[in-house]
Amino acid sequence: MKTTRRLPALLAAMILLGGCAGLASLNQATIPSEVFVLTPKSTFDPGLPNLKYQIVVDTPTATAAVNTDQIAVQPTPLQVQYLPGARWVDRAPLIVQALLIESFENTGKVPAVGSSTIGLRADYLIVTDIREFQATVPTGALSEALQIDVRLNIKIIDAFTDRIIASRSFEEFVASPTDAAPDVAGAFDEALGDTMRDAVEWSIRKIAGHAPGR
C-alpha cells in the first residue's frame, strides 16, 4: 500500500522535472543570434544616362537553400550548411530586392523605382534570379578563410510589350579572412555591392538604349 501511495508523488516529480528540462531547452533555443544587414551601392559612373521611365524591381527568385534568413555555407559543392549563431535581418531575396531599389535610387538617374507591392506603374521591370549567394570553402584551404560567391541573373522586361529586352549574369567573389560571422557578413556586403553596381549601371544603359525605339 505504501508503494501505491508513493506512485502519484513520483509521477508528479517526474512531470515537474520533465517540464524543467523542456523549459531549459526553450530558453536555450531563444538565445538571440547575431543579426546582420547589407548595404546598398551608392557610388556609380557619373556618365550614366538619365532615364524618363519608371522601374519596378520584382522580388528575386532563389532556391530554398538561399530563400532564408540564414547565412548559407557550402563546405562541398553538394552540401549546404548554415553559419551558426548568425542570421540576415530578412530573407535573402527580400534583402536583395530592397537594396537594388535603393541602389537604383542612389544613381540619381531614375525618376521613380519601387516594388510591385506599392502599385507603381512600370515602364520596365527588373527580374532577378539569385543564382549564387553563399560562402564556400576554397579547395585545399588550410585556414578558416571562406570565399563569398554572389551571382545575380538580371532580365529587363519592357512592360508595354511584355518582352525581355536584355539578360545578363553578374558575379563577384570576395574572400572572407575568417569564418567569424562579422567577417563573413562584411565579405557578403562587398560582393553584393560590386554585383549590384555592375547590374544597375548595365540596366540603366540598356533601358536608355532601348527606350527610343519603343
214 residues of the chain, pLDDT tens digit each? 444 444 344 334 333 334 434 433 334 444 558 999 999 999 999 999 999 999 999 999 999 999 999 999 999 889 999 999 999 999 999 999 999 999 999 999 999 999 988 777 899 999 999 999 999 988 765 566 899 999 999 999 999 999 999 999 999 999 999 999 999 999 999 999 999 999 999 999 999 999 776 6
Q: First vs last Cα of the chain: how many Å apart?
A: 94
| Residue 211: count of CB within 10 angstroms of its CB | 16
C-alpha cell at 154: 538580371
| Domain identity same for 17 and 73 | no
Whole-Å CA distances, 94 to 20, 39, 113: 38, 13, 16
Using CA of residue 81, residue 87, residue 90, residue 96, what is the dihedral sign? negative
Exposed e or buried b per residue across 74-111, where buried means at least 16 C-beta atoms within 10 angstroms of its C-beta: beeeeebeebeebbbebbbbbbbbbbbbbbbbbbebbe
Number of domains in the chain: 2
| Domain identity same for 73 and 152 | yes
What radius of gyration, in Å, describes the C-alpha atoms of the chain? Answer: 24
| Domain identity same for 80 and 141 | yes
Q: Please name the amino acid found at residue 53.
A: Y
| Domain identity same for 192 and 157 | yes
pTM of the entire structure? 0.83
* CATH code where residue 172 lies: 3.40.50.10610
Residue 143 confidence (pLDDT): 60
| Domain identity same for 108 and 173 | yes
Q: How far, in Å, CA of 120 to CA of 112, rounded?
A: 8
Between helix 92-107 and helix 181-210 the angle, nearest 10°, is 50
| Domain identity same for 64 and 127 | yes
| Domain identity same for 175 and 204 | yes
| Domain identity same for 53 and 96 | yes
| Domain identity same for 94 and 3 | no
Domain residues for 140?
A: 35-213
| Domain identity same for 119 and 101 | yes
Cβ 148 vs Cβ 184: under 8 Å = yes
| Domain identity same for 50 and 144 | yes
| Residue 54: count of CB within 10 angstroms of its CB | 16
Q: How far, in Å, CA of 9 to CA of 128, rounded?
A: 62
Instruction: Give me the helices (H) in the chain, please.
Output: 2-29, 92-107, 181-210
| Domain identity same for 43 and 85 | yes
